[in-house]
């Protein structure tokens, strides 16, 4: 993803796991503006710029027989707490293997 405040994760969604992910993110990267030198934008925007350390902007997932080779409960999710940008771009690349 060509964005400095977003990342991709493989995670179980539903059954509370997605809420747990967001709660853990809030604990690891608190939204308190005073904690960050990067202070422009909405409150907590400094934390948004640190997010790619935990959720990188790229992800590799094998494709087997034309299907994503994910576990039963796994989903690919875009993680972006940045409220300043409502539109995101995701680029897909397929490499033969």
Q: What is the pLDDT of residues 35-72, one digit of tens each?
A: 888 878 888 889 999 999 999 999 999 999 989 999 99
**Residue 33 included in any domain:** yes
CA distance 62 to 82: 29
**Residue 97 included in any domain:** no
Question: Which whole number is the average pLDDT over 19-42?
Answer: 89
Q: Which of 90, 97, 94, 93 is nearest to 7 (CA)?
A: 90
Task: Say which residue, 97 or 75, is predicted with more confidence.
Answer: 75
**Residue 46 included in any domain:** yes
Q: Which two tokens stand for residue 61?
A: 């997932």
**Which range of residues forms the domain containing residue 47?**
7-79
Mean pLDDT of the chain: 90
Residue 44: the pLDDT is 81
**Residue 53 included in any domain:** yes
Domain count, the chain: 1
């Amino acid at each position: 993803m060509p964005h400095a405040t977003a990342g991709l994760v493989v995670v179980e969604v539903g059954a509370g796991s997605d809420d747990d992910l967001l709660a853990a993110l809030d604990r690891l990267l608190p939204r308190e503006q005073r904690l960050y030198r990067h202070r422009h934008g909405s409150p907590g925007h400094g934390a948004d710029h640190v997010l790619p350390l935990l959720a990188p902007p790229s992800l590799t997932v094998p494709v087997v027989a034309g299907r994503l080779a994910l576990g039963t409960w796994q989903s690919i999710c875009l993680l972006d707490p940045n409220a300043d940008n409502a539109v995101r771009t995701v680029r897909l690349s397929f490499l033969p293997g």
